[in-house]
Amino acid sequence: MNDMTVPREEREAKLEGMGCKRKRVEDVRFTQGKGNYVDDIKLKDMVFGDFVRSPYPHARVKSIDTSAAEALPGVLAVLTAETLKTVNLAWMPTLAGDVQMVLADGKVLFQNQEVAFVIAEDRYIAADAVDLVEVEYEELPVLVDPFKAMEPDAPVLREDLEGKTEGAHGARKHHNHIFEWTVGDSEATDLAFSKAEVTVKELFSYHRCHPCPLETCACVASMDKIKGELTLWGTFQAPHVVRTVASLLSTIPEHKIRVISPDIGGGFGNKVGVYPGYVCSIVGSIVLGRPVKWVEDRIENLSATAFARDYHMTTELAATAEGKITGLRCHVLADHGGFDACADPSKWPAGFFNIITGSYDIPTAHVAVDGVYTNKAPGGVAYRCSFRVTEAVYAMERAIDVLARKLNMDPAELRLKNFIRPEQFPYPSALGWEYDSGDYETAMRKAMETVDYAGLRAEQAEKRAAFERGETRELMGIGVSFFTEIVGAGPTRNCDILGIGMFDSCEIRIHPTGAAIARMGTISQGQGHQTTYAQILATELGIPADMIDIEEGDTDTAPYGLGTYGSRSTPVAGAATAMAARKIKAKAQMIAAHMLEVHEDDLEWDVDGFRVKGLPEKTASMKEICWAAYNNVPPNMEPGLEAVSYYDPPNMTYPFGAYICVMDIDVDTGAHKVRRFYALDDCGTRINPMIIEGQVHGGLTEGYAIAMGQEIAYDDMGNVTTASLMDFFLPTAVETPFWETDWTVTPSPHHPIGAKGVGESPNVGSVPCFSNAVNDAFAHLGVTHIQMPHDNWRIWRECKRLGLTG
Amino acid sequence: MIPGSFDYHRPKTVDEAVALLGQYGEEARAIAGGHSLIPMMKLRLAAPEHLIDLGKIEALRGISRDGDTIVIGATTTQAELIASPVIASNLPILIETAMLIADPQIRYVGTVGGNVANGDPGNDMPALMQCLGADYVLKGASGERSVAARDFYEAAYFTALEDGELLTSIRIPLPPAGCGWAYEKLKRKVGDYATAAAAVMLKLHGGACSFASIALTNVGDTPLLAAEAAEALVGSSLDKSAIDAAVAAAEAITNPASDGRGPAEYRTRMAGVMLRRAIARAKNRAA
Amino acid sequence: MAKTHVKMTVNGKEIEALVEPRTLLIHFIREELELTGPHIGCETSHCGACTLDIDGKSVKSCTMFAVQANGADIRTIEGMAEADGTLHPLQDAFREMHGLQCGFCTPGMITRAYRLLQENPNPSDEEIRMGISGNLCRCTGYQNIVAAIRLAAERMNGTQNWEAAE
């Protein structure tokens, strides 16, 4: 039995609850090679699927001859659009309200689009058979540049939409137009600009990139024809949504489908969507009655599933001569590729792009986003960010730097001048959000002091002078960014996916001995959920974290949840965890009162049990209460100690941070060196500082890669030129800078434990910081904006344009 | 990414390997470390019907000194090269270069012979071998012959190596005593091919350059020996005008492709920048 | 095509099998031997998730045929702990220093770090970064991996003067 006479600190330490650097539970298996990822699954009679893909970015499919492939020994089936039409699955709905071909139906719209699906006894035979499928194509004119998509004579991409003037999000203006989404007060904004003393305008292109988790997308579909049950293992960031979609598409009743996300080797947004490989594997298993495994290779991953960004943001700021921002206007051209398969909440075709006013008190703003089709892969996922937030933050954080140049002000000072002040929270933004909490100035000043910002500026001035004197060939750039994220989607009144509200869930069962299991609607892809949810419960329930199992990812056992992406696990499921725990605690209190023969109001909570007020030696520890829950409950109370919570958040959460980067640029090669990078994050209450720091390191590394070279590039013919890890920039340990991390804590007032989420902040905040550092290196030469990615040759091109190098 | 089928052979002697290569002609490929060939096979850009594994042929391995020549067996790995005291004391530029190739795992299995023989213009060793004036010993059914590295490369993936022939060793003459050396490579990240790279050997005598040899990597469809650039240095004090002339001469012979590393113009300029830096470092190292 | 007989030692166990020559070593290890610790990340020898220790070298087994490993002595992540279950200091250190998140790169990373420390028992941070530059990690940003390898090295050398992160 727990002894509540032990000092409070000792009992608290034993819990390993919130705030402690608990070592991860997951690592025990991962460090021994005992993780269980999708490709590790081996089932009896399992067969393998592989895709025939289009070498052309835009072509008519004249014919598909599968006979030679089918004749190869070991080949079991070759699916084409014609086969899928018999089960009405040649096309599937996307999360964005569009439809997408599962297999090429008459034409292809991007290079490496899925054309046929070969199923064979093993993956080697499947690969051989792919080569034997004969496809006759007739090439069509290719549209790569989104700025040409809406020209009158642009090629018609989506013939299936011909004559459709209404899309899922309103009117379509052109045959390659998907939607226009506007928000804000256009007239008031125009007025602010017409009255402004200073305005700036710049096109900020956020290039196409890709989440590229180390594990590619994969699934195993297993149809038990006798039981009529489908089991689907997959790399799914949202297993319950996959179950619902699979049921709607296949007409298998939802209770006959079990979706399991086992260990996932990183997601970063890549594994939110539903891909043709999943549909074809399910159909294959239904047809063959055998389990079908499909695993993307890296080329397929980079060229066909889930790109991110490709946002072209013409951004304007209006300000007074003293630097007070009076208005913001932004027009976005959004390249969605051949199908609009972006993974946003249904009502938000441009995600939460209207967070673009950022951390600043901007009285009026207007945003318009036009989505267009091009001959590129579909997607538009949130690559380690909330939906379209990193795009918005990039535009704002670059724009304020451009404004600072024009005003001849220091960019950090201009930010300080325009921050939303602590007393303005909850703060209603001009574009419709209500920020929960923040103390931006404190964070910014702490960052500036820690790095000695003034000293850095002095050093930069000296270095510029030395450059002028010919003593160095390096220019020094200082990047500042201050971001406000919007995460934790989200309130069901305005956030849903295919009509399902974006709540999340936790179900807790306490066993008689005081051990517990909690099942969640989310799914970890490396975030350490098994570790951190248990910490929340440990603090809430007074049960040691080591006595609590966290289980996720099996739709047969877990309560319905919307999954893990958009930094929503802690804000939504973390809240559900606390709320479910509090239901248990309330019942525990009644049991304790019964045990101690006092009124429950006479009890007070003390770390891991209750004490009688005024009689502190009279206690009921949680461990004792758990036992009593199964044999000594008050009259008329049901035995047991269980609870479930479906948490519908009242608001988003708004983590923020201040980042500063110091970079040296070699003008003769365009190569850079990040000399220093400091990241201060405020994610509200900190559940596990070790895991937070790890998340920040990872996000910064991704942000570094994106800003400095990571790109999904297409040539003019529509060929993707970066589909291997030779050309798609994933930095190694050698290129990756050293990260300094720091924090402030401003809890969310509406979240049960005050936590805001952190996983994506470092990606969101660091990309503009790196980009600002590059631009800052050239700012004294009149440069306002250099487009990303800032790889060597593009920086060198700017050096050459400026006459700094030959 | 699954390769096509093939028959596998694992000869124990050079003669056996040569016989197999002769027997199967263009249907056969020799494999050593395999880190160039296997990815090509997985992409089905190469589909040999017979794979002849050189891994068990002891005679192809090892580093030795033969008079004024350093002999490197074709299947000597980059890691073995890096660890070799013979190389460290005689040709340290090989170690500097090998350290810039690929990554640790690949250097354990990637061979010097494979790097020079497969004709990939992205490989680093070919230009270095041209710079050093190395000879390649090739063995075929009709016997052994020697081809200078400077004559070996014809176009991307096309070399003087004929079907049925095997590269058995690389012979590098010892550079003049007191030579300075440097290999400068600009790349995007560890594991990348060069955006441009330059190998420089030079010797100073009484303040003047008495010997120079220069070659460039990955700025043409073969490695490029920059003879005129070297000539521009010889006789000079390595002053700015001589170096400018060498850089101009080197840039003039480049013909790089535009790719993700940058447009052709950039890569040409980077060849010049790498050369300039390599000359500076070589000069500092010259006795 | 004829199958080839291969014999090798894997984690101290002698195994024999008939393999198709084109069978990649990583597939042989994962699917025939059911050692699924090593992973497939890129298939083009860039990511290092498939790293095995073969005859004292770190090798990317996605770019090697099983037949080439005939006669080899191979160690995978599953063979890193001692027979009695005692973990290798690297395995402990990765957990302690939070040197992993999704776990997908971890087996290859630890296997590579094992060889690095065999060759260089006391590497500097820069040498560690160079030493693991053939292994990509998408989650950690490497900083804690470097710290974990340093901690393991110190413990293996008995020179630990490490103040574990608070």
User: What is the SS3 string spanning A138-193?
Assistant: EECCCCCCHHHCCCCCCCCCCHHHCCCCEECCEECCCCCEEEEEEEECHHHHHHHH
Instruction: Decide if B113 contacts B167 (C-beta within 8 A).
Output: yes
Domains of chain A: 8-35+504-647 (3.30.365.10), 38-140+216-264+272-304 (3.90.1170.50), 307-489+652-801 (3.30.365.10)
Q: What is the pLDDT of residue A62?
A: 98
| CB-CB contact of A757 with A653 (8 Å) | yes
CA C130 vs. chain centroid, Å, equals 16
CB contact under 8 A, C45 and B190: no
pLDDT tens figures, C28-83: 999 999 999 999 999 999 999 999 999 999 999 999 999 999 999 999 999 999 99
> Which pLDDT value is given to residue C165?
42
Q: Which residues of A touch B190 (CB under 8 A)?
A: 732, 734-735
State the pLDDT at residue A1. 45
Q: What is the pLDDT of residue A346?
A: 87
Contacts of A297 in chain B (CB under 8 A): 1
B82 phi and psi, to 5 degrees? -60, -35
pLDDT in tens, B174-184: 999 999 999 99
Confidence of residue C160 (pLDDT cuts 50, 70, 90): low
Hey, are the CB atoms on B262 and A793 less than 8 Å from each other?
yes
- Please classify residue A458 by burial: count the beta carbons closer than 10 Å to its beta carbon, then call 0-12 exposed, 13-18 middle and 19+ buried: exposed
- Residue among C27, C35, C104, C150 with most chain A CBs within 10 A, to mutate: C104
Partner-chain residue, chosen from A36, A297, A697, that has the shortest CB–CB distance to C144:
A697
**Each residue's pLDDT tens digit, B34-63:** 999 999 999 999 999 999 999 999 999 999
Q: Write the residue in C35, C103, C135 that is nearest to A35 by C-beta.
A: C103
- Give catalytic residue positions of A: 237, 384-385, 760
pLDDT at C159 over 90: no
| Dihedral sign of CA atoms A795, A798, A802, A805 in order | positive
Chain A residues in contact with B4 (beta carbon < 8 A): 128
DSSP B195: S
How much is the pLDDT for C161?
Answer: 53
Contact C134 B105 (CB under 8 A): yes
Instruction: Check B189 against A729: CB less than 8 A apart.
Output: yes
The full DSSP string for A449-507 is HHHTHHHHHHHHHHHHHHHHTTS-SEEEEEEEEEEE--BS---TTT-EETTEE--EEEE
pTM score, whole prediction: 0.97
Domains and CATH numbers, chain C: 4-79 (3.10.20.30), 89-157 (1.10.150.120)
Candidates B244, B270, B275: best to mutate against A (most CBs of A within 10 A) is: B270
pLDDT for the residue C1: 63
Query: C128: which chain A residues are within 8 Å (Cβ-Cβ)?
Result: 733
User: Which parts of chain B have pLDDT scores under 70?
Assistant: none
- For each of the domains in chain B, give its residue range(s) and CATH number, in order of start: 7-51 (3.30.43.10), 62-173 (3.30.465.10), 180-285 (3.30.390.50)
Answer whether A74's CB lies under 8 Å from A121's CB.
yes
* Cα A422 to Cα A440: distance, rounded to the nearest angstrom: 7
Residue-level pLDDT at C158: 87
In terms of CA atoms, which chain C residue is nearest residue B102? C134
State which residues of chain A have pLDDT below 50. 1
- Residue window 32-61, chain C: list those with CB within 8 Å of chain B: 43-46, 48, 51, 57-60
Q: Do residue A736 and residue C145 have CB atoms under 8 angstroms apart?
A: no
Instruction: Pick A796's closest partner by Cβ from B5, B189, B266.
Output: B266
Q: Rounded to a whole number, what is the distance in Å from the CA of C10 to chain A's nearest CA?
A: 15
Chain B touched by A722 (CB under 8 Å): yes
Half-sphere exposure of A163 (CA within 13 A, CB side): 1
Predicted-complex ipTM score: 0.97
Residue pLDDT, tens place only, A42-68: 999 999 999 999 999 999 999 999 999
* Partners of residue A671 in chain B, C-beta under 8 Å: 186
The answer to whether residue C68 neighbours chain B at the CB level (below 8 Å) is yes
If you measure CA to CA, which chain B residue comes closest to C52? B105
What's the pLDDT score for residue A251?
A: 86
Looking at the complex, report in whole angstroms how far the Cα of residue C71 sits from the nearest Cα belonging to chain A.
24
Per-residue 3-state assignment (H helix, E strand, C coil) for A212-276: CCCCCCEEEEEEECCCCEEEEEECCCCHHHHHHHHHHHHCCCHHHEEEECCECCCCCCCCCCCCH
Chain A: residue nearest C45 by CA?
Answer: A725
Task: Give the percent of chain B with pLDDT over 90.
Answer: 99
